[in-house]
């Protein structure tokens, strides 16, 4: 049995009206992940909804039941959720004296932020465990080689910290098809 990590973001550094960027990671073992997905699907069926849960789009109480019941379900499992929030104006200010474009800054963030989020989840894994990381299928991530860089960075982290786990793959996945990506 392996360990699964799901990673997604909401808002990008240069999105209009986006004061903050949100990065989330959700991790647990494969069996627990399967149970969580079954429970969330059951909740959505009971509530008569098939729409994707996207917390950045939660703007009114019409969907309160779906979000509340889903989060209540998830937190009752042995899971890890880590969230990182970036003040976009602060990030741009920091990147400016370094002469970094927004794309270059995002490229740096897309490796360092997930690594920080994932470390909190992988630090207690046993030697020899395998990890699969699922990330939103996104052209920008492909262009910036995020999938390969995450695998390389996390395996370097495991070796450096003498943890012994191994990321065997980073899988691009469409978030509207993945309940765990919607949670993360």
Query: Any idea where the domains of the chain sit in the sequence?
Result: 3-183
Q: Are 19 and 86 in contact (CB under 8 A)?
A: no
State the CB neighbour count (10 A cutoff) for residue 38: 11
Beta carbons within 8 Å of 15's beta carbon, 6+ residues apart: 88
- Residue 53 has phi, psi (to 5 degrees) of -90, 115
Nearest Cα residue to 126 out of 26, 6, 7, 29: 29
* Residue 64, pLDDT score: 66
What's the pLDDT tens digit per position in 68-90?
777 777 788 888 989 999 999 99
Of residues 61 and 91, the one with the higher pLDDT is 91
3-state secondary structure of 80: strand
Residue 58 has pLDDT above 60, yes or no: no
pTM score, whole prediction: 0.86
Of residues 152 and 174, the one with the higher pLDDT is 152
pLDDT level of residue 53 (50, 70, 90 thresholds): low
User: Domain 3-183 carries which CATH code?
Assistant: 3.30.420
The angle formed by the CA atoms of residues 32, 154 and 84, to the nearest 5 degrees, is: 70
Calculate the average pLDDT of the chain: 85
What element of type H or E holds 141? Answer: helix 139-143
């Amino acid at each position: 049995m392996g360990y699964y990590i799901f990673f997604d973001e909401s808002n990008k550094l240069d999105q209009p009206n986006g004061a903050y960027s949100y990065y989330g990671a959700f991790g647990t073992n494969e069996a627990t992940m399967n149970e969580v997905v079954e429970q969330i699907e059951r909740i959505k069926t009971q509530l008569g909804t098939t729409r994707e849960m996207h917390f950045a789009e939660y703007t009114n109480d019409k969907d309160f039941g779906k979000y509340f019941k889903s989060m209540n379900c998830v937190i009752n499992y042995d899971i890890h959720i880590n969230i990182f929030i970036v003040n976009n104006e602060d990030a741009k200010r920091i990147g400016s004296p370094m002469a970094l474009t927004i794309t270059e800054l995002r490229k740096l963030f897309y490796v360092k932020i997930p690594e920080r989020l994932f470390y909190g989840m992988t630090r207690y894994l046993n030697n020899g465990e395998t990890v699969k990381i699922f990330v939103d299928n996104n052209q920008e991530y492909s262009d910036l080689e995020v999938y390969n860089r995450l695998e390389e960075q996390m395996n370097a982290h495991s070796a450096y910290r003498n943890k012994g786990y191994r990321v065997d793959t980073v899988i691009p996945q469409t978030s509207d098809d993945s309940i765990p990506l919607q949670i993360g």
